[in-house]
Amino acid sequence: MKFKALVIGSVFALASMASVGSSPAQASDGVKFGVVDMQRAIQSVEAGKKAKAQLEKEFNAKKKSLQDEEAAIKKLGEEFKKQSLVMNDEARAKKQAELQERVMKFQELQARSQMELQQKEGELLQPIVNRLRGVIGELAKQRGYSLVLEKNENMVLFSQDKDDLTKDAIDAYNKAPKS
């Protein structure tokens, strides 16, 4: 967070230095900042909606599978508790080891599923983000923006609505032919 603040401070310092020796009117005409809410843009463009639906479908399938396995493990655990009273020590230790192994495999499956979903999310969203950046760059050039920042609570504390390019970026993205 400190690094982001340092970067933003440096950008503003450079922008200020670029306008040194200019009148205030010239300085404000020379440097124009815009913002884009990338999260909102990604979730709003058609490709982003499709990606989200695909991710949710995969997530729900994995969730169902994991819930089924978790229920099976709980059932085995309850059965083990009931049967352990009548088991000899060797049988009890063997059954407990089997149960622990199944729990470990379940935890590995959970971690692997989460990793696969994150990887899939990256695969689906990266092309959208790349294309969105190109669209935003074109919008910024057309409208004379010197700099466009990502609008989120950690980077941009305030911006004028007229400098928010999010809706225009969404519209341009959806209208532009896919490359």
- Same domain for 117 and 84: yes
- Same domain for 85 and 26: no
Number of domains in the chain: 2
- Same domain for 55 and 27: no
Q: What is the pLDDT of residue 28?
A: 52
In the chain (179 residues long), the average pLDDT of successive 10-residue segments reads 45 43 43 93 96 96 95 94 90 93 96 96 96 96 94 82 92 84
How far apart are the C-alpha atoms of 177 and 168, rounded to whole Å?
A: 16
Q: What is the pLDDT of residue 179?
A: 59
- Same domain for 103 and 168: yes
Q: What is the pLDDT of residue 16?
A: 43
- Same domain for 60 and 18: no
- Same domain for 164 and 81: yes
Distances in whole angstroms, Cα of residue 8 to Cα of each of 34, 80, 176: 13, 59, 31
Q: The domain containing residue 107 runs over which residues? A: 32-175
How far apart are the C-alpha atoms of 101 and 118, rounded to whole Å?
A: 26
- Same domain for 120 and 70: yes
- Same domain for 142 and 82: yes
Helix (H, G, I), strand (E, B) or coil at 149: strand
Residue position matching structure tokens 């124009």: 32
- Same domain for 47 and 70: yes
- Same domain for 53 and 6: no
Report pTM: 0.70
- Same domain for 84 and 162: yes
